[in-house]
Amino acid sequence: MFPARYTVFVLCILFAAISFVLMFAVSGHFFWPFLVFAALAVTGFLDLRQNAHAVLRNYPVTGHFRYLFESIRPELRQYFFESNQDGKPFSRERRSMVYDRAKNIEDVLPFGTELDVYESTYSWVNHSVCPKPVSHEDLRVTIGGPECKQPYSASLFNISAMSFGALSGNAILALNKGAKAGNFFHDTGEGSVSRYHREGGGDLVWELGSGYFGCRAKDGTFDPDKFKSQAANPQIKMIEIKMSQGAKPGHGGVLPGPKVTQEIADARGVPMGQDCVSPSHHSAFSTPVELLEFIRTLRELSGGKPVGFKLCLGHRWEFMAILKAMLKTGIKPDFIVVDGSEGGTGAAPIEFANRLGTPLRQGLSFVHNCLVGAGLRDDIKIGASGKLISAFDIAGTICLGADWVNSARGFMFAVGCIQSQSCHTNRCPTGVATQDLKRQQALVVPDKAERVTNFHTNTLDALIEFTAAAGLDHPRDFKPEHFYLREGQREILPASVALTWVQKGALLDEAHNIPGYSTYWDMAVAESFEPARSVASAKALHGHHGHH
């Protein structure tokens, strides 16, 4: 019996034959349908003979529609089927909020919230019956510890790390010009300082990854002379050592040689056309003490600029080992940026993006608590990043211990990103995440730079109003007791009760017994990131059975 799945293929052959006859018998205009149907018939023959795709062998010609619809599936979903609360990782409602603020359009919500306020993950900040007058105080935080000679006054909301190479030159230029106009900083990402950063003139945080781009020796190690020369640039306000990032913690990377253009090579200090390797670990240090000595070296070489590190929290004893090294050596970073595992990247292995690293809420509160418990919090500022784009995101993050917030994808939306999720293909439809010169020409720098500034300004304006409605004078006054979340299906608790909060200096008390902290503290040593003892041994040491 003739398989129905071959019907279209057979019809293509039949119509090609009929068109061929009519082309000579009736009119030469039948050449065009002949050409179409002949091409489809040839495609069907090739489908039957190929071995790579079972669908095409079973469904010659028609099987191609499956791949066509699959290729445009994100666009179909986003434009035709996505509700305001659908869309991952950012819903349409949250994206629209950024677009409206970037365009200076009133970002109001009609007819009430569409969120399920009884959902287990719903969180909120309570308001006051005595709201404060809206303050116009500049929302800034001073970063720089006792050893810092050039402290920096940073905005509470800044551009998180995104490298030139991952983003186009036009996108970097628009971001930096926007940061310049709005008086906030732009983190370079580990791709170092490009000509687009310098041309924009905005404040920079120079991120040093494991590839040491911008201060890299020929063998890929850290070059102090190159670092000193670049760090002297007055546009560079702070130095950030990238220990790990939320979307792919513990993972290195390779930029293939063909993608290493002359501009990328110049920015990173690598040969053009050769593979550009970012190892999964740093070569400048291998122990907590060496990390802090490296921080001291960078601070000295930069003339006393603030130096810190960024990490997505992993093994808890490793972070505590860094704290013990601070106590032992007396060397402290000026800041720590906590990146949540919900953070984004251009490309990451699925397991790394979905199942590795600590989410921001848990990672941030742990880092804050550890610094408080070790008596170090007063000298070290904390930044936070990971899907933070709204005034509530900023306020809630400050409630859990942050001093300021960085946003990457929020500012990507501001320069035109439509969440097509094609960052890794070099075919970004808006010219944001591509090195294709034609595609990035679509991104008009003056227009997008203004939108970056608008987004920053309007988000902080919303934060000011949100703060006043909560009865507070300044966002720094947000505390855990202002942030509410659900514990299970019944209890509604403020973060001050739902989460553990460590008292100042508590970890220095030999008799401390803090669930989730004391066990890991007993495992940590300043001389190594490896645990000094097992979890069981550490628990037995204090005779407690806390959560960990």
Any bridge partners for residue 242, and if so which? 310
Any bridge partners for residue 206, and if so which? 239
pLDDT above 70 (res 152): yes
pLDDT at 95: 86
The matching CATH number, chosen from 3.30.200.20, 3.20.20.70, 3.40.50.10300, 3.40.47.10, for 140-492 is 3.20.20.70
What mean pLDDT do residues 392-396 have? 95
pLDDT tens digits, one per residue of 236-265:
999 999 999 887 787 777 777 777 888 888
φ, ψ for residue 390, nearest 5 deg: -120, 170
pLDDT above 80 (res 139): yes
What mean pLDDT do residues 401-418 have? 93
pLDDT tens digits, one per residue of 332-390:
999 999 999 887 776 677 788 788 889 999 999 999 999 999 999 999 999 999 999 99
What mean pLDDT do residues 209-227 have? 94
Q: Which residues contact 234 (CB under 8 A, 6 or more apart)?
A: none
pLDDT at 181: 97
Residue type, position 49, single letter: R
Q: Are 311 and 243 in contact (CB under 8 A)?
A: yes
Higher per-residue pLDDT: 375 or 74: 375
pTM, two decimals, is: 0.87
Alpha-carbon distance of 205 to 183, in angstroms, equals 13
pLDDT above 60 (res 230): yes
Burial class of 230 by CB neighbour count within 10 A (0 to 12, 13 to 18, 19+): middle
pLDDT above 60 (res 548): no
Confidence of residue 294 (pLDDT cuts 50, 70, 90): very high
Alpha-carbon distance of 445 to 101, in angstroms, equals 18
pLDDT above 80 (res 82): no
Report the mean per-residue pLDDT for the chain: 90
Confidence of residue 546 (pLDDT cuts 50, 70, 90): very low
Confidence of residue 545 (pLDDT cuts 50, 70, 90): very low
Confidence of residue 156 (pLDDT cuts 50, 70, 90): very high
Higher per-residue pLDDT: 428 or 170: 170
What mean pLDDT do residues 211-235 have? 95
pLDDT at 483: 93
pLDDT tens digits, one per residue of 274-283:
878 788 889 9
Confidence of residue 2 (pLDDT cuts 50, 70, 90): low
pLDDT at 522: 92
Instruction: Give the percent of the chain with pLDDT over 70.
Output: 96
Q: Are 243 and 310 in contact (CB under 8 A)?
A: yes
What mean pLDDT do residues 474-495 have? 84
Q: Map out the domains of the chain as residue ranges.
A: 4-80, 140-492
Confidence of residue 129 (pLDDT cuts 50, 70, 90): confident
Instruction: Give the percent of the chain with pLDDT over 90.
Output: 61
Helix (H) or strand (E) holding 241: strand 236-242
pLDDT above 50 (res 128): yes
DSSP assignment of 327-357: HHH----SEEEEEPTT---S---HHHHHHSS
What mean pLDDT do residues 219-231 have? 95
Helix (H) or strand (E) holding 396: helix 391-399
Confidence of residue 1 (pLDDT cuts 50, 70, 90): low
Alpha-carbon distance of 229 to 320, in angstroms, equals 33
What mean pLDDT do residues 283-310 have? 97
Nearest in space to 374 (alpha carbons), one of 335, 412, 321 = 321
